[in-house]
Amino acid sequence: MKVIALAGGVGGAKLANGLAQLLQPEDFSVIVNTGDDFVYSGLFISPDLDTVSYTLAGINDPKNGWGIAGDTHTVLDSLKKIGHPVWFTLGDRDFATHIERTRLISSGLLLSEVTRILTKRLGVAHQIIPMTDQSVRTQVNTEKNGTLAFQEYFVKYQYQPVVTHITFSGIEDARLSEAGVEKLEQADLVVFCPSNPFVSIDPILAIQGVREILHHKTVIAVSPLIGGKTIKGPAAKMMQELGYQPNSFTIANYYKDLIQGILIDSRDVEEEEAIRQCGIISLATDILIPDVIAQKRLAQEVIKFGKNLLLRNR
């Protein structure tokens, strides 16, 4: 069975890591959101691509989920001392990734080619694919702070501004990367990772042609919410601000034209009936995956659930 995951940052990386532990590189790849990308001090930063890459390489910082474990901050501290504005934490080894990515992009390579080179150098066997080689930038429109670039909203303002709507600048001209088209078309099972639906999965789904491919696939999602709260990040807060009830039923309903199944947490078992009434099959299990053992266990359940749905769809 060939599986492809759609992922954002930390939550997505964790499930992708579990799947990568169980499936061979030819049977599993990940398409990653690049709407969070930005240029910081002239460097091309791809936070979600790096979070997924570092996690699959086993070098991610286990406390934050992003960045590299044990990284030092000499460059950042020195920048601060000489007056450089510092609102985004970059470790020294992480800086090396951004410098090299920027060099390779400036030499004319596509982001997907650069990602292939960088992940290979990290020893990642599975393919990590940026959603597009074109520039798409997530813009968060807020009640009091106007339009913010995603990292400004997320890191500089600590996702405190109230969100009114979200847009993906450049999306009209974006195309799924070549590797993305190939892997998505080959896939038997597509998994939406437990990532923020509005700012991690939606940018991927907004790319021309993606929804059309998915309409012919068996697709399952893993909820990013437990007991109405986000495991990490602003998904629940955003849902409330955008007029949704923050729960796993809302997630199922939000994806209902694309998914056939959803994994929710056992603590949300009472939402199963409402999910069933949307025509979606649910599986209630433990979806909290803080470590590799838990990531592998959930990935096993995802694969088994997906196989059952594939058999039903035949």
* Binding region for ligand FO1 (CB under 6 A): 8-10, 36, 47-48, 50-51, 66-67, 88-90, 94, 151, 154-155, 200
Residues 6+ apart with CB under 8 A from 251: 197, 221, 223, 224, 225, 262
Q: Which is nearer to ligand FO1, 43 or 242 (CB)?
A: 43
Can you say whether the dihedral through the CA atoms of 120, 122, 127, 133 is positive or negative?
negative
Can you say whether the dihedral through the CA atoms of 163, 169, 175, 177 is positive or negative?
negative
Structure tokens at 169: 């600048």
Q: Which is nearer to ligand FO1, 160 or 186 (CB)?
A: 160
- Nearest approach, Cβ of 65 to ligand FO1 (angstroms)? 7
Q: Torsion over CA of 152, 153, 154 and 156, rounded to 10 degrees? A: 50
Q: What 3-state DSSP class applies to 77?
A: helix
- Nearest approach, Cβ of 23 to ligand FO1 (angstroms)? 23
Q: What 3-state DSSP class applies to 283?
A: strand
Q: Which is nearer to ligand FO1, 194 or 306 (CB)?
A: 194
- Comparing every residue's Cβ against ligand FO1, the nearest one is 9
Contact 24, 101 (CB under 8 A): no
- Nearest approach, Cβ of 47 to ligand FO1 (angstroms)? 4
Q: Which is nearer to ligand FO1, 18 or 65 (CB)?
A: 65
Q: Which is nearer to ligand FO1, 54 or 249 (CB)?
A: 54
Q: How many Å apart are CA 203 and CA 181, to the nearest integer?
A: 15
- Nearest approach, Cβ of 127 to ligand FO1 (angstroms)? 19
Q: Which is nearer to ligand FO1, 40 or 254 (CB)?
A: 40
Contact 262, 282 (CB under 8 A): yes
Q: Report the half-sphere exposure of 104 (CA within 13 A, side-chain side).
A: 17
- Phi and psi angles of residue 231, each rounded to the nearest 5 degrees, phi first: -65, -45
Burial 223-247 (b: 16+ CB within 10 A, else e): bbbbebebbebbbbbbbebeebebb
Q: Which is nearer to ligand FO1, 10 or 298 (CB)?
A: 10
Q: Which is nearer to ligand FO1, 48 or 265 (CB)?
A: 48
Structure tokens at 63: 């406390």
Structure tokens at 10: 């930390």
**CA-CA distances (angstroms) from residue 64 to 14, 51, 55, 69, 287?**
12, 10, 11, 9, 19
